[in-house]
Chains A and B, each alone.
Chain A
Amino acid sequence: MKIVEDTILYQEEIAKPGHLLCPGCPGGIVWRIVSKVLGKSSICVHSASCFGLPVMMYPSCLTIPTLYVSFASASAAISGVSSALKSLNNSGLMDEKVNLFVLAGDGGTADIGFASLSGAAERNEDFIYICVDNEAYMNTGIQRSSQTPTGTWTTSTPLGKVESKKDMPAIMAAHKIPYMATASVSYPQDMIDKITKARDLGKGFKYIHIHSPCPTGWRFPENISIEVGRLAVETGMFRLLEVENGGETVVTYKPKPRRPVEDYLAVQGRFGQLQDDEIAAIQENINTICSKLGF
């Protein structure tokens, strides 16, 4: 029983049942785990995303204070919250350690919110930034983002996206922030460990990029979301990483042997138009990236 007690499963639920995510969306798992690890003494700032919008439906399923702001502004607004708390603490008007976190989607993180994210990281603001990456603008009807992988069908890339996925983990690590990690909804203990580490690391900016398969936008049956997330990691399409203070990249899970990327692509309708040579190119790219990382 020791193993079970060491997990967060016995702690109080901060995220209550009842949300408006699509059937099969693992975003609810992210809420549940993040809020359980960070606890009741937390404040969430969020902006437009699949994961944020249902939080603000009244009555909300999150039982901690939340502040919703304009799309590009989550990192800036939480910088204001952080400064205000610092000021209250310094003046003796408050004596509470509050865990601040942003919950944002990949578009709100890597595209429209990128300037404020980069600004907050450069200032080493004291909060945890959680990017829930479902690799497109799903809430508005599946449009490509900078996080959409090469070859992906979306409503704005009907022939498949030509460009590659912007490397957010590398970009955030290059800010030399205290902590950068990637996680997957399909590896909950790894995710719990990383959020816990971010929580306990002390002051400064922590970025966690969570891969979250989307049955609606990726075109797969809603009962295999976790399996799809696992295939992304097992094929090396998404890597579970950690970087502290811009230093060495640590791979927290190395799939051995790596499965062929076709296993991941074949279960999703969004890759249905890919030809053999395109799949081979994707495999080649993964091989290059993973060999650099040592697996």
Chain B
Amino acid sequence: MDSEKKMLTGNSAAAYGVKLARVRVVPVYPITPQTTIIEKLIEFITDKEMKAEFIPIESEHSAMAAAVGAEATGVRAFTASSSQGIAYMHENLWVASGLRLPIVMVMVNRTMNPPIAGAPDLSDSLSQRDTGWIQIYVENAQEILDMVIQAYRIAEDKNVLLPVAICYEGMVISHFLEAVDIPDQALVDKFLPPYRPEHVVLDTKRPMHIFIASDDYLPEYRYQQEVAMENAKKVIENVDVEFKKLFNREYGGLLATYMMNDAEVVIVSMGNISNTVRMAVRELRKEGIRAGTVKLRVFRPFPKEAVCEALRDSKLVIVLDRAVSSGFGGIVYPELLTALSAVEPRPSVQNYILGLAGRQVTVANLSSLVKNSFAVYQDSGTGNPIQWIDVRGL
């Protein structure tokens, strides 16, 4: 059986992944830039290429609730959203993870408003950091398709049973056309067997009350979720290895590293900005700077151990944050700093906030940012660790 190559947008690639994963219930509410995922899924369902029930639901809040209902009935559910829509889902994201329902959703990143803005940064998905969802950041259409399929396998693993969000920047990744290899259905079926839940299911022959009221058991619920998150690290890596065996593509599991062999100065990034970062690293290498980069593919569970291992020998780590925790600074930065406290001597860490609402990040400004930082580091080893780049009024 052969795979098929097609020119697809990132959002179409996501829809193909959902179809191949044999998702049965799709409640989605429209919001730009996510909407073309629904359009493609409706096309599949209308053309009978996909056997699923589409629910034209009345809000994102309800979309996640309907996904909870469907997944609790024992079938695969999928939904997608962006920006305010993800925020509107917030309480039901807690319900999905708290009930240990392996729902997969796509978060097509778009900045949180106001002012109303359609371009991407990671403020929407990163605001959902503590909801108990696994968050995986991807950067091209092929990775989107492959990771939607991988996500169900990760989520449904008996040692995990947590929902997974696949995140990518809207407008850029969601709407650009790329050549995508569409795997063969039979091979996907082999990789991803049907979902047969035992832990949580609405079954009249085996009645259970899903979502009990208990102050007494809540700490145990949370602890078990934490154990599942820890387990997910290994599962994410293993699933990537298994995926390669069947489809001959791999993504690195928790991290993707580039030119890290002898790197002194390392740029840490997430999402599609990483592509520009790799180009900048090549430019810097030409100028004799031993640069490298680590892309965080997974933000929850935070890959503490893998990050420490990758950055152990670096001197300066530059964290690019495409979102802000107002009143502190970047969002990835403090997490990375905490993780690196296990490394002795700890590399110096610098945080840059850039690319908000799609503001252009170029190879030239990344190169000069790294050179300036490295010069300051070599000169004094200090400096303001949190800086904003390319913003009026700095």
Contact = CB atoms under 8 A, between A and B. Distances in A.
B51 A84 contact: no
Nearest to B194: A93
A65 B203 contact: yes
Contacts of A81: 69-70, 72-73, 202
Contact of B62 (A42, A56, A96, A119): A119
Interface stretch (A69-77, A155-163, A170-178): A69-77
Interface string B62-90: 11011111111111010000000000000
A66 B209 contact: yes
Contacts of A65: 202-204, 206-210
A43 B72 CA distance: 11
B204 A76 contact: no
Contact of B65 (A76, A83, A87): A76
A251 interface: no
Nearest to B74: A84
B24 A84 contact: yes
A55 B209 CA distance: 8
Contacts of A41: 204
Most buried by A among B57, B65, B70: B65
Interface residue SS majority, chain A: helix
Interface in B204-261: 204, 206-214
B212 A58 contact: yes
Interface residues of A, number: 46
A69 B68 contact: yes
B128 interface: no
B209 A83 contact: no
Contact of B92 (A63, A73, A79): A73
Interface residues of B, number: 41
A60 interface: yes
Contacts of A68: 209-213
B348 interface: no
A216 B62 CA distance: 32
B91 interface: yes
A86 interface: yes
Contacts of A226: none
B56 A73 contact: no
B207 to A, nearest CB: 5
B213 A67 contact: no
A191 interface: no
Interface of B: 24-25, 27, 51-53, 55-59, 61-63, 65-75, 77, 91-92, 95, 202-204, 206-214
Top 5 nearest A-B pairs (CB, nearest first) are A80-B69, A119-B58, A76-B62, A73-B65, A80-B66
25 contacts: A42-B204, A43-B202, A55-B209, A56-B209, A57-B213, A60-B212, A65-B206, A66-B207, A68-B209, A69-B69, A73-B95, A76-B62, A77-B66, A77-B68, A77-B69, A79-B62, A80-B55, A81-B72, A83-B55, A83-B66, A83-B70, A88-B73, A115-B58, A116-B58, A116-B65
Given A70-B91, A72-B62, A80-B71, 5 more contacts: A55-B209, A67-B68, A69-B65, A81-B69, A96-B204
